[in-house]
Amino acid sequence: MRIFKGTAVFSGIAIGTVSLYKKNESKVKRIHGEDAETEKERFTWAVEQACEQLGKLYDKALTEVGEASAAIFEAHQMMIEDDDYIESVEHIIESQKVNAEYAVACTSDNYASMFQAMDDEYMRGRAADVKDVSNRIINILKGEGMQVVEGDNSLIVVADDLAPSETVQMDKSKVISFVTRYGSSNSHTAILARTMNIPALIKVEFPEDIHGKTAIVDGYEGALIVEPDEEALEKYTKKRDEYMRRRKLLQELKGKENVTRDGRKIELYANIGGVSDAISALQNDAGGIGLFRSEFLYLGSDSYPTEDEQFGAYKSVAEAMAGKKVIIRTLDIGADKQADYFGLEREENPAMGFRAIRICLKRPEVFKTQLRAILRASMYGNISIMFPMIISVAEVRTIKAILAQVKDELKKDGIPYKDIEIGVMIETPAAALISDELAKEVDFFSIGTNDLTQYTLAIDRQNEQLAHIYDTHHPAVLRMIEMVVNNGHAHNCWVGICGELASDIELTKRFIDMGVDELSVSPAFILELREKIREL
């Protein structure tokens, strides 16, 4: 039995098998003099594996984002089964006596250049696809990516760090915990763990030989216990069962009101990252969706999700929530959330850089596609829209003008939509300080305390070295929240909180005293918060 200590970012107990996740950063090496037959067999095997992965991704995408989005995986499957592609790889292995990885990389480059040289725009776009499928084969050959332990459905994913674009691709039905060497409690892996309601640890120094071993994640004490002895296994199985019992007890609060003993009410909504999370929101009795992080639709894709794909996702959530409010936040990409096809330049200071609404206003075609999709989906439920990273009234006016343009275009096309509520996120000190002005422009505010704290305290939310002074209860942040609530209410604007602070039960009373109208939290926190509110 070996114990590795770390910091817990979401509590709970998980008992399962370690699945080591390796990043695919290393370059493909050309190894000369390989046995051609063996390399060809490796290649055939990797193609089979890739086809199986793509088949699974197709099924997953079909249920999560719909047919149009899933089709890409089918197209990728056809690409690697193409005779010319296979012959090209085999020819390079034979004629140059090189390893399969190198032959695949060469073929990929050749095909991509060929596609890029074509006149047809659609065919030029296939260059990215051929690179993507080839990388998949190379990763399989190199044993990179998530190393699935065959036949195991309880995986503890252990990694140096995980980017949102990586977690989004995982088969989450099998993941019961995340453990990372780096990362912070505000990182998106931590947020994802909370959404999935699974224990997660950061800052764990683990050796690589733990792959495939049985392990326990103690999300209370912050420990990863590898190859536990019988005594530990028994103790933790008991603890896990107790945790489950507690969750069951909380289920009894379903259907009850979020009301204090003295009769004050507050809305409890859920934060979600995709269509499948809406189920978790409903299971935990969320009154609505307070934050739909729409960028996850973009991160889960190899190219810009089309209007129809987005429409499908927004409509599914709106319908699933059956008339309950669904607040869709427009694209908040950049900083720690990167998608290669956006072609964003490397920045010295990404958190303060080209991200979120700044990208949308510079690339109106991307923004308008999303707005059209949201407006079209508004016919299927109770959708609101909100905009991230706002710093000025001028921005909000520009956004409103673009929204009006999109509505005009829809009208001209005879496509119906509703006049939905619009809101802004208050997540920069600038927005908080001018919230009296902003309140005149919109219907609601949602305070993003993760970024608001980061910018107010001038502490990068991802920087582990500064985690000890990232004081979530800092009076500056709490004063700003109170100020935003007062300014909002003075101008008929309701005010919610959707950052992680919303689920901090030490502050629930304070938020209610301030008059906060809504708290939007990871689905797993809703019933716990309801219990707290009913005790106040």
Q: Return the active site residues.
A: 188, 498
CB within 8 Å of 60: residues ≥ 6 apart: 171
- Pick the closer one to ligand PEP by CB: 139 or 187: 187
The interface partner of residue 294, options being Mg ion, ligand PEP, none and the CB cut-off 5 to 8 Å by kind, is none
Interface residues toward ligand PEP, by CB under 6 A: 291, 293, 332, 427, 448-451, 498-499
Here the tokens at position 372 are 């059209």
From the CB of 519, what's the least distance to Mg ion, in Å? 16
Any residues with CB less than 8 A from the CB of 348 and at least 6 apart, and which?
A: none
Residue 128 tokens, joined: 């990215």
Instruction: Specify the residue, 301 or 453, whose C-beta has the smaller distance to Mg ion.
Output: 453
Residues 451 and 457: their CA atoms lie apart, in Å, by 10
Exposed (0-12), middle (13-18) or buried (19+): which is 134, by Cβ within 10 Å? buried
Please give the structure tokens belonging to residue 251: 């289920």
CB of 252 to ligand PEP, least distance (A): 29
Judged by beta carbon distances under 5 to 8 A according to partner kind, the member of Mg ion, ligand PEP, none in contact with residue 293 is: ligand PEP
Q: How many CA atoms lie within 13 A of 49 on its CB side?
A: 21
Question: What is the nearest approach in angstroms of ligand PEP to the Cβ of residue 111?
Answer: 37
Q: How far is the CB of 370 from Mg ion (least distance, A)?
A: 17
CB of 448 to Mg ion, least distance (A): 4
Q: Look up residue 44 and give its two tokens.
A: 């055939």
Check if the beta carbon of residue 273 is closer than 8 Å to that of residue 48. no
Residues between 423 and 452 with contacts to Mg ion, criterion CB under 5 A: 427, 448, 451
Q: Which of 43, 165, 170, 183 is nearest to 108 (CA)?
A: 43
C-alpha–C-alpha distance, residues 229 and 305, integer Å: 48
Nearer to ligand PEP, 47 or 270 (CB): 270
Amino acid at residue number 231: E
Choose the one of ligand PEP, Mg ion, none that binds residue 284, judging by a C-beta under 5 to 8 angstroms depending on kind: none
Three-state SS string across 415-437, please?
CCCCCCCEEEEECCHHHHHCHHH
Choose among ligand PEP, Mg ion, none what residue 376 binds, the Cβ cut-off being 5 to 8 Å by kind.
none
Instruction: Identify the residue whose tokens are 């699933």.
Output: 320
Residue 187 or 280: which CB sits closer to ligand PEP? 187
Closest separation between CB of residue 451 and ligand PEP, Å?
Answer: 3
Is residue 74 packed enough to be buried (19+ CB in 10 Å), middle (13-18) or exposed (0-12)?
A: middle
In the complex with ligand PEP, which residue's Cβ is closer, 219 or 448? 448
Which residues does residue 384 pair with via DSSP β-bridges, in sequence order? 327
What's the closest the beta carbon of residue 409 comes to ligand PEP, in angstroms?
29
- Name the E strands within 23-154: 145-146
Q: Which of 269, 290, 198, 199 minimizes the C-alpha distance to 529?
A: 269
496 is a site residue for Mg ion (CB under 5 A): no
As beta bridge partners, residue 466 has: none
Binders of Mg ion among residues 221 to 260 (CB under 5 A) are none
449 contact, one of Mg ion, ligand PEP, none, CB 5-8 Å limit per kind: ligand PEP
Q: What is the DSSP string of 359-421?
A: HHHH-HHHHHHHHHHHHHHGGGSEEEEEESS---HHHHHHHHHHHHHHHHHHHHTT-------
Distance between start and end Cα atoms, the chain: 44
For residue 312 the two structure tokens come to 């499908």
Rounded CA gap, 275 and 66, in Å? 10
Are 330 and 359 in contact by the 8 Å Cβ rule? The answer is no
**Would you say 312 or 448 has its CB closer to Mg ion?**
448
The distance of closest approach from Cβ of residue 372 to ligand PEP in the complex, given in angstroms and rounded to an integer, is 23
Supply the minimum distance, in Å, between the C-beta of residue 450 and Mg ion.
5
Q: β-strand 223-226 against 2-5: which pairing, if any? A: antiparallel
Taking the least distance from each CB to ligand PEP, the nearer of 105 and 327 is 327
Nearer to Mg ion, 16 or 423 (CB): 423
Contact map string, positions 451 to 490, toward Mg ion, x by CB under 5 A = x---------------------------------------
Total residues in contact with Mg ion, by rule CB under 5 A = 3
Name which of 183 and 448 has its Cβ closer to Mg ion: 448
Contacted by 498, from ligand PEP, Mg ion, none: CB < 5 to 8 Å by type: ligand PEP
Give the C-alpha separation, 479 to 284, whole Å: 31
Footprint of Mg ion (CB under 5 A) = 427, 448, 451
